[in-house]
Structure 1
Amino acid sequence: MQPLHFPYTKCSRKLTFFALLLLISLASPTSSCTEKEKGSLLQFLSDLSSDGGLAASWKQNGADCCEWEGVTCGEDGAVTDVSLALKGLEGRITPSLGNLAGLLRLNLSHNSLSGGLPLELVSSGSIIVLDVSFNRLRGDMQELPSSTPSRPLQVLNISSNLFTGRFPSSTTWEVMDNLVVLNASNNSFTGQIPDNFCSSSSLLAVVELCYNQFTGIIPPGLGNCSMLRVLKVGHNNLHGTLPNELFDASLLEYLSLPSNVLDGVLDGAQIIKLSNLVTLDLGGNNFSGKIPDSIGELERLEVLHLDYNNMSGELPSALSNCTNLVTINFKSNNLSGELSKVNFSTLPRLKTLDVLYNNFNGRVPESLYTCSNLTALRLSGNNLHGQLSPRIGNLKHLTFLSLAINSFTNITNALHILQRCTNLNTLLMGSSFRGELMPEDDFIDGFENLQVLSLNDCSLLGKIPLWISKLAKLEMLILSENQLTGSIPAWIEDLKHLFYLDISNNSLTGEIPTNLLDMQMLQSEKTTTSLDPRVFELPVYKGPSLQYRIPIAFAKVLDLSNNKLTGEIPPEIGQLKSLLSLNLSFNALRGQIPISVCNLRNLQILDFSNNNLTGAIPAALNSLYFLSAFNVSNNDLGGPIPFGGQFNTFQNSCFDGNPKLCGSILTHKCGPASTPPPTTMATKQTDYKAAFAIAFSAFFGVGVLYDQLVLSRFLR
């Protein structure tokens, strides 16, 4: 019998294909996780105090844990990945996750997990990536026993937690011979950095241990890490010199050691061994000597930080060879000579140049104006002189410019040129252009993006000019310590975004205009600033510990002190409800302290001293729970000093020079007729909110805000 033959059509090919799929599906049924693995995951879930909705999600997806949110399984049904970052998880991490024998990657980062890190996870025989960063884990990191066999862990990220105690010693790292990435930054680890990271593992490429409390020296053994590309151990308490062995790690691309106590001279013969460096950050240490010429051989270098050291001498001209430089930060050293030693025209990628507080002299080099990508330029605190070149107007991307504390001249010409820098949002020119006339030219009409303007301590003559009223985006205006005369212009209220006004230490006259008290940004407690977070391209405080980058970090301030203002304090002052600091001291103001001041519930600093004020101190001022600095000395005030609340914390010097005042802290005690009735705060000091407010304001108000008010006058 002849076999039957069917024509092999397109349709029959499809039927054959689906038949094969059916056979495969019957031969290999869909795998699912085991009951043991499911139990381990459910145990983890049960130990959470808040699961962020995870339980509902898992229940909704059925009994097979391979289908659960954040869980991935391999072909054999074994759980290989648990990825639950940013899920709002709270509670402890159960050791049961260590029972997942096939688990390769565990990511629990960016949650609120607490307790310790189970040793079962670190010592797992399968996990290659363990990330528990950005949680609230605490306690010591447990050591791995010396008998532990080699572990497969390649990435360990425990950064941004609350770990304390000594960092795991050599025993732990000897068994992690596959480790590639170690990140333990932003904890409170103590002790010395282990010297044997690479004694077993030749693969280690990233070591990040910054923001801890490590002591001792930089271990020479790091030089044995032949694959090391990133070393970040800044913001610790390391001391000593850079070990020569460190420079044997020739593949290093990122060397960051800022804010330690390291010292010594930079060895040019050693530095050139790190020819792959892209970032070199040695800022905030005690390095001395010259910047070596050999630094010019680091042709891949993009970021160079040597700030806050004791470096001296002239800039090496070889720096011009680092043609990939994007950031140069030499601030707060003893460098000298002329900036023209460097040919900036060979640095086309340069975006930031910061030489604050050095001893550079001469003029601004013309080659600097060829850096068309420059966004931040700080030349302040040097001995530079002359007029600004018109070519600076070519820097169209410039957003931050500080020329303060130099000997520049012709401020009118400078402003005419700088208005061509249309992206400029921060302009700091204080302590320069001394003794000149404040430009009154109405043709200064650029600066449409300017948000911060500081012309303080220039001894400028003239009046507050009208062109400032055109700076529609202005948020901070500092004209203090000049010789300005005339009245406070009513148009200041038109600056709708202004929240920081300091025109103190001038010779302004007349009364406080009520228009000034209509400033929108100071009136509503709900009003927020609309700041670009990049507005301060560079930190504006002198010290490395207080580096506010955006004006929102500054308090809302009105400072009219040390002028010749007359008249009474307008009652409309109570409208400025978001003010944190009000200073009207050293004027000729008269009349009473308006009761409306009690509406300024956010005030932390209030200074009415050295005026001609009369009458009583409003008793209701003791309801300003955040008030931490108060001064009404040298007036003609009388009656009892309020007591209770913050008034129990003020020293008697705050009331000196008012012989008619009486109170328990003064020599002049109040009689029965003048004793004010006890306030709620005086009779019930256990009120929790008030106690918290007092404590908060004592720390925040006197500390942070005082630093702002003092240092903001020296914005450089």
Structure 2
Amino acid sequence: MNEFDSNHCNLSDPFNGVRCDISTGAVTKLRLKACLSGTLKPNSSLFRLHHLRYLDLWQNNFISSSLPSEFGNLNRLEVLYLSNNSFPSFLFISFLNELTGSFPLVRILTKLSFLDLSNNHFSGSLNPKSTSLFELHHLSYLDLGDNNFNTSLPSEFGNLTKLEGLDLSYNEFFGQVPPTISNLTMLSFLYFKDNHFSGAIPSSLFTMTFLSNLILIGNDLTGSIEFDNSTTPSKLEYLYLGHNYFEGNIIEPISKLINLKELDLSFLNTSYPVDLHFSSLKYLSVLDFSGNRISPASLDTNSDIPTNLEGLYLQGCGINEFPNILKNLDKLETIALSNNRIKGKIPEWLWNLPSLNTVMLSNNLFNGFEGPVDDVLVNSPMKNLGIAVNCFEGEIPFLPLSINVFKASHNRFTGEYLFNLQS
């Protein structure tokens, strides 16, 4: 492939290189991540590798040009990475047209099981009448994330029944999530983050047999969250629904998803305070409820919250007293309470939490520390502490030797402090 400039090839990457068939010597795998600069031309030696099954051209610098139809020569391809190449928008349209035009590329690449076109500048329509994308019946993974698609989602996505992973994040997709998505019974993760999907979430998504990751954060979804009771518990482990516009009681149905490990319900724009009644979620380790009004009763020591939490994010929740609920969370590593109205002193018991790593308390009304803080804080395992924009006065207390990041600007601290922050 001498037609490309490869002077900047990342030779230190142990995965870059070529793999050949032991018996025939034919090239079956080619991985050239961050290696090439130039134009993909029809006469490239790449298109003479007819036995190629795996092609990874991730993060190269291909000069803008149409995608050669000679990709169709690689009809044994099963895995194709073209991610992070900054291909222009017209290229995807050309790519799709070639799939169905005089050189039906997709119909030739019928063995494709993995297709990654993420992080480019593709745009246009996914009209099933003008593309054969939905005829790739062997696809198990499809990534069109981080492009410029501005279209509704065709119901024909439900034809890709072997899909195990589908990522359409960071686009401008709009309209409802088609119910035919539930036809993808092998799906284990679905990433639709940061689009403009609207309407209700299809109830079937919460009870799919293998779906463990459902990421819908940053859309315009509305309605309630409903799903049928099933004799088989939901397999969902990671559920991200933040930055949407749900209505009604969403806590009760979510509390039935007993296998959840991470739950993001931040900035739901509810008109009522919500309770943190999730004690049924025994495996929950991360909970983000930032940007919502929380019932004060949810924050006392008797609150119904999972005790295995490792990360709790309650930023911008209008909290005005330090939540005593934290006393019960011995495994807590990260607590984020910034942008509230918490007044008074930081309780002494906080620094005794055995796993504490990161404490974010900036933008509150704290005015001091409870107890002999110099003796307690210095022995904490904490690495990151943020107390900026508060009402602290006097000398800065002795910090733990483990501290890496300390933010304390916009207070009234006095005196000098010799910092010895670890790298």
Q: TM-score, normalised by structure 1?
A: 0.51
The DSSP-based 3-state class of the residue aligned with 1:240 is coil
Match of 2:322, SS state, is coil
Q: 1:208 is matched with which residue? A: 81
Q: 1:430 is matched with which residue: 306, 311, 315?
A: 315
Partner of 2:152: 265
Shift of residue 458, structure 1, vs aligned partner: 2.1
1:369 aligned residue (230, 246, 255):
255
- SS of 1:393 mapped into structure 2: coil
The aligned counterpart of 1:456 is 338
1:96 maps to none
Residue 344 to residue 209, structure 1, CA distance change in 2 (3 Å): farther
Q: 1:175 aligns with which of 48, 62, 69?
A: 48
Alignment-derived partner of residue 157 in structure 1 = 31
| Correspondent of 2:288 among 402, 413, 422 | 402
Moved more, 342-351 or 277-286: 342-351
Distance 1:488 1:320, change over 3 A: closer
Q: What secondary structure sits across from 1:154 in the alignment?
A: strand
User: C-alpha deviations, 1:624-651, integer Å up to 9, x for none?
Assistant: xxxxxxxxxxxxxxxxxxxxxxxxxxxx
Residue 350 of structure 2 aligns to a residue whose secondary structure is: helix
Counterpart check, 1:217 vs 2:92: yes
Cα 1:518–1:252 change in 2 (3 A) is closer
Structure-1 residue corresponding to 2:386:
502
Structure number with higher relative contact order (C-alpha < 8 Å, ≥ 6 residues apart): 2
Matched, 1:475 2:318: no
The aligned runs of 1:402-421 (5 Å cut-off) are 402-410=288-296, 413=299, 416-417=302-303, 420-421=306-307
Distance 1:409 1:399, change over 3 A: same
Indicate conservation of the 8 Å contact 1:193/1:214, yes or no. Answer: no
- CA–CA distance in structure 2, aligned partners of residues 511 and 449 of structure 1: 32
User: Structure 2: which amino acid aligns with 1:154?
Assistant: T
1:341 is displaced (CA, Å) by 2.9
Quick one: distance in 1 between partners of 2:335 and 2:238?
20
Asked whether the 8 Å contact 1:311–1:334 carries over to 2, the reply is yes
Post-superposition CA distance 1:102-150 (Å, at most 9, x none): xxxxxx984599xxx9xxx89xxxx448xxxxxxxxxxxxxxxxxxxxx
| Larger Rg computed on CA atoms | 1
Aligned residues: 397
- Does the C-alpha gap of structure 1 residues 263 and 347 become closer, same or farther in structure 2, counting only changes over 3 Å? farther
1:49-93 alpha-carbon deviations (Å, 9 max, x no partner): xxxxxxxxxxxxxxxxxxxxxxxxxxxxxxxxxxxxxxxxxx999
Residue 520 of structure 1: aligned partner: 401
Q: Return the alpha-carbon distance in structure 2 between the equivalents of residues 157 and 426 of structure 1.
A: 37
Moved more, 197-206 or 320-329: 197-206
Change (3 A) 1:558 1:521: farther
How far has the Cα of 1:256 moved from its partner?
0.7
* TM-score with structure 2 setting the length: 0.82
Question: What's 1:577 paired with?
Answer: 420
Deviation at 1:344, TM superposition (A): 8.3
8 Å contact 2:389–2:408 — kept in the other structure?
no
Of 142, 153, 156, the residue aligned with 1:255 is 142
Q: Are the aligned partners of 1:439 and 1:465 in contact in 2 as well (CA < 8 Å)? A: no
Aligned to 2:126: 242
* Higher percent of residues as helix: 1
Q: Secondary structure at the match of 1:239?
A: coil
1:388 is aligned to 2:261:
no
Quick check: 1:341 aligned with 2:341?
Answer: no
Provide the secondary structure at the position in 2 that maps to 1:272. helix
Letter in 2 for 1:294: T
CA distance in 2, matches of 1:496, 1:277: 47
In structure 2, the partner of 1:617 is: none
Cα distance in 2 between the residues matched to 1:435 and 1:425: 20
> What's 1:190 paired with?
63
- Residue by residue, what CA displacement relative to the aligned partner does 1:318-350 show, whole Å, maximum 9, x if unpaired? 324523111111111111222x23458666221
Which structure 2 residues correspond to residues 20-35 of structure 1 after superposition, within 5 A? Answer: none
For the pair 1:166 / 2:39, whether they are aligned, the reply is yes
Q: CA offset at residue 173 of structure 1? A: 5.6
Asked if structure 1 preserves the Cα contact closer than 8 Å seen for 2:301 and 2:328, the reply is no
Letter of the structure 2 residue corresponding to residue 426 of structure 1: G
Matches within 5 A, 1:556-635: 556-562=405-411, 565=412, 568-569=414-415, 571=416, 573-574=417-418, 576-578=419-421
Say whether the 8 Å CA contact 2:274–2:292 is kept in structure 1: no
| Secondary structure at 1:520 match in 2 | coil
Output the amino acid matched with 1:558: K
Aligned-residue CA RMSD (Å): 3.3
Name the CA shift for 1:488/1:467 in 2 (closer, same or farther; >3 Å).
closer
Write the mapping of 1:268-307 to structure 2, written as runs, cut at 5 A: 268=155, 270-307=156-193
Q: Sort the Cα spacing of 1:92 and 1:459 in 2 relative to 1 into closer, same or farther, 3 A.
A: closer
1:271 CA drift (Å): 0.9
Q: Are the aligned partners of 1:320 and 1:347 in contact in 2 as well (CA < 8 Å)?
A: no
Find the aligned partners of 1:512 and 1:342 in 2 and give their Cα distance.
55
- CA separation in 2, counterparts of 1:394 and 1:197? 55
CA contact (8 A) 2:207 2:235 kept: no
2:151 maps to amino acid:
G
1:612 aligned residue = none
Offset of residue 190 of structure 1: 3.4
Q: 1:255 to 1:285 in 2, by over 3 A?
A: same
Q: Deviations over 1:177-213 (max 9, x none)?
A: 3322111113223335635356334322111111222
Cα distance change, pair 192–369 in 1 and its aligned pair in 2 (3 A): farther
Partner Cα distance (1:416, 1:327) in 2 = 31
Gaps of 5+ in 2: 1-6, 100-104
Q: Which amino acid aligns with 1:259?
A: D
**Residue 323 (1) aligns with residue 209 (2):** yes
Q: 2:388·2:407 contact (CA, 8 Å) conserved in 1?
A: no
Contact kept? 2:233, 2:258, Cα under 8 Å: no
Shift of the 518–324 alpha-carbon distance from structure 1 to 2, 3 Å rule, reads closer
State how far apart, in whole Å, the 1-side matches of 2:166 and 2:13 are.
Answer: 29
* Aligned-partner residue type, residue 410 of structure 2: S
Given residue 578 of structure 1, which amino acid in structure 2 is its aligned partner? Answer: L
